[in-house]
């Protein structure tokens, strides 16, 4: 039998409604996570393949390693911190599906023993409730914080103009609820190369195309900043729910958001926003240390 490779860098792979991540347990923040490494890891031919990377570390360790300047608002030095990177190596403030997978991973791996704790992100503290977490499946609610509307803007997609609401959920979104858009029409759109107003969104934007609210539910597709089209975006579902509610003159309520990779429930109330949905841990392994060093 072939001898197993050893001494590698441990990783896991997981997804939340098929928004997939390479998870790097690095509690003491010792890994040097460069842009080129993240790109290589996320590459579906040359690497593991994912929409993003979730480094699992303590906030204090990331500060000590110089990855964070200080703890973001509401985040304690002892909190777990989701150091999130997009597939193109860029850093984003928040990832809603990522927080669910991150919390599931912590519980399933035994790193966290409580079912309610706070996950730090660059957008601030994100308290979670882990409803269930076995080795493969989890169900998590994330307190997603305030939803700030930024005004109206327009995107051009598939030779059509889409009006939407700029929404800040810690990261920037343009959520476009399209009157009378059917699920089949949504499915047929080519959302690969959206144009947006770079003066309105100077740091880029995630763009959601959304069907109008019907029986408490919407369908959504998303083009993510730093990734491209993904099969789900948690922060995007919160923006989509807020825009769909605004479209019918409401600011609060629960909306089921169907995305190509599954469904989640988003609740908006006077205290903030909440995202409930599944998480899947696919497997774990070791990255070849030489491969890491060469990237
Ligand atoms: N998939 C994420 C969002 C990840 C960050 C985004 N691409 C950005 O650059 O803002 C989610 O589930 O929220």
Centre of ligand 1 from the C-alpha of residue 275, in Å: 14
pLDDT of residue 1: 53
* 64 within a domain of the structure (yes/no): yes
**Region 164-182: what's the mean pLDDT?**
98
CATH of the domain at 120: 3.10.310.10
Give the chain's domain count.
2
Ligand 1 neighbour 278 (Cβ under 6 A): no
**Region 25-39: what's the mean pLDDT?**
97
3-state DSSP assignment of residue 257: strand
Q: Which residues are catalytic?
A: 95, 233
Ligand 1 neighbour 26 (Cβ under 6 A): no
* 22 within a domain of the structure (yes/no): yes
Centre of ligand 1 from the C-alpha of residue 224, in Å: 6
State yes or no: pLDDT of 87 exceeds 60: yes
Whether 211 and 247 share a structural domain: yes
State yes or no: pLDDT of 107 exceeds 70: yes
* 260 within a domain of the structure (yes/no): yes
Expressed in percent and rounded to 5, the helix, strand and coil fractions of the chain are 20, 45, 40
pLDDT of residue 246: 98
Whether 163 and 235 share a structural domain: yes
Whether 167 and 234 share a structural domain: yes
Ligand 1, pocket-test mutation among 83, 90, 227, most atoms within 8 A of CB: 227
Residue 2 binned pLDDT confidence (cut-offs 50, 70, 90): low
Ligand 1 neighbour 171 (Cβ under 6 A): yes
Tell whether residue 171 is among the known ligand binding residues.
yes
Whether 81 and 116 share a structural domain: yes
State yes or no: pLDDT of 3 exceeds 70: no
Ligand 1 neighbour 273 (Cβ under 6 A): no
Provide the mean pLDDT of the chain: 97
Q: What is the CA radius of gyration of the chain?
A: 19
Whether 65 and 123 share a structural domain: yes
Whether 169 and 213 share a structural domain: yes
Centre of ligand 1 from the C-alpha of residue 4, in Å: 36
Tell whether residue 66 is among the known ligand binding residues.
no
pLDDT of residue 7: 85
pLDDT of residue 196: 98
What are the two backbone dihedrals, phi and then psi, of residue 223, each rounded to the nearest 5 degrees? -115, 115
**Region 102-117: what's the mean pLDDT?**
98
**Region 211-235: what's the mean pLDDT?**
98
User: Nearest-5° angle of CA 128, CA 203, CA 27?
Assistant: 40
Place of tokens 């909440």: 274
In this predicted model, what pLDDT tens digit does every residue of 12-28 receive, in sequence order?
Answer: 999 999 999 999 999 99
Ligand 1, pocket-test mutation among 224, 242, 260, most atoms within 8 A of CB: 224
**Region 136-149: what's the mean pLDDT?**
98
Whether 16 and 115 share a structural domain: yes
Closest atom of ligand 1 relative to the 236 alpha carbon: 13
Give the whole-number percent of the chain exceeding pLDDT 70: 98
Tell whether residue 152 is among the known ligand binding residues.
no
**Region 226-235: what's the mean pLDDT?**
98
Domain range enclosing 17 = 9-144+279-288
In this predicted model, what pLDDT tens digit does every residue of 270-290 receive, in sequence order?
Answer: 999 999 999 999 999 999 999
* 295 within a domain of the structure (yes/no): no
Whether 54 and 115 share a structural domain: yes
Q: Is the pTM of this model over 0.95?
A: yes
Centre of ligand 1 from the C-alpha of residue 29, in Å: 22
**Region 177-188: what's the mean pLDDT?**
98
Burial classification of residue 37, based on how many CB atoms lie within 10 Å of its CB (0-12 exposed, 13-18 middle, 19 or more buried): buried
Whether 155 and 168 share a structural domain: yes
């Amino acid at each position: 039998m072939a001898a197993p490779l050893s001494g590698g860098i441990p990783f896991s792979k997981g997804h939340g409604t098929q928004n997939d991540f390479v998870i790097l347990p690095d509690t003491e923040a010792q890994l040097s996570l460069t842009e080129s490494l993240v790109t290589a890891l996320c590459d579906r031919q040359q690497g593991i393949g994912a929409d993003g990377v979730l480094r699992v570390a303590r906030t204090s360790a990331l500060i000590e390693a110089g990855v964070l300047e200080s703890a973001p608002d509401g985040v304690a030095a002892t909190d777990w911190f989701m150091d999130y990177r997009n597939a193109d190596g860029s850093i984003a403030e928040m990832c809603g599906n990522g927080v669910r997978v991150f919390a599931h991973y912590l519980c399933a791996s035994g790193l966290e023993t409580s079912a309610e704790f706070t996950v730090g992100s660059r957008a601030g503290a994100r308290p979670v409730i882990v409803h269930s977490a076995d080795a493969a499946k989890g169900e998590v609610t994330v307190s997603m914080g305030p939803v700030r509307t930024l005004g109206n803007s327009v995107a051009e997609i598939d030779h059509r103009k889409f009006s939407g609401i700029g929404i800040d959920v810690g990261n920037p979104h343009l959520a476009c609820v399209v009157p009378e858009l059917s699920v089949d029409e949504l499915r047929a759109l080519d959302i690969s190369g959206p144009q947006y107003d770079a003066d309105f969104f100077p740091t880029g934007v995630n763009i959601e195309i959304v069907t109008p609210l019907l029986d408490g539910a919407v369908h959504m597709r998303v083009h993510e900043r730093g990734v491209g089209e993904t099969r789900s975006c948690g922060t995007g579902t919160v923006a989509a729910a807020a825009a769909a509610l605004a479209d019918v003159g409401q600011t609060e309520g629960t909306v089921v958001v169907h995305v190509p990779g599954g469904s989640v429930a988003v609740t908006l109330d006077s205290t903030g926003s909440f995202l409930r949905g599944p998480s899947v841990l696919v497997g774990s392994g070791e990255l070849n240390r030489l491969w890491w060093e060469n990237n």
